[in-house]
Amino acid sequence: MEVSPPLRWLGALAVMFVVVLIVVPLLLQTISDTVVLGGEPSEPALSEVAIVPSEASTQPPEAADAEVAAAEEDAEDEFPATYTVEAGDTGTKISEQFYDTSDGWSVIAEANDIDPSAPLRVGVELTIPAPE
């Protein structure tokens, strides 16, 4: 059975009308839930956020400071350290891992008698001296 062209258009318009009536309000609701226009988020949005205290936040500041100091002392005792070069490693990355700065690569290279500008070979074991 062949449908006449005016009926095809009427059917297409009916489908578009239903889509507009259903999809557009859903999109507007989604946008209004995620975007806050003109300032502060509404109370319901704030109440949906759960704040769960961690163990560290329940400790008094003195206890947290003592833990940091103990960790720093342990870190100092770990030098000289050894590190095996892995794929993707660079001297800068290794220096940042152990010294928290990229400037220590020349010290590591010198301690291992390697050229700091030479590429690293995977599997080479490096001795990491204590930071200066």
Predicted pLDDT at 77: 55
Comparison of pLDDT for 87 and 50, the residue scoring more: 87
Rounded distance between C-alpha atoms, residue 103 and residue 122, angstroms = 21
Radius of gyration of the chain (CA): 31
Burial tier of 126 (Cβ tally within 10 Å: 0-12, 13-18, 19+): buried
Q: What is the pTM of this model?
A: 0.42
**Cβ contact 83:125 at 8 Å:** yes
First-to-final CA distance of the chain: 89
How many separate domains does the chain show?
Answer: 1
Predicted pLDDT at 112: 94
State pLDDT tens for residues 85-118: 999 999 999 999 999 998 899 999 999 999 999 8
Residue 132 included in any domain:
yes
For residue 113, what are the domain limits? 88-132
Residue 70 included in any domain:
no
Residue 95 included in any domain:
yes
Residue 80 included in any domain:
no
Residue 66 included in any domain:
no
Residues 6+ apart with CB under 8 A from 125: 82, 83, 84, 85
Angle 132-98-73 from CA coordinates, rounded to 5°: 70
Q: SS3 for 125?
A: strand
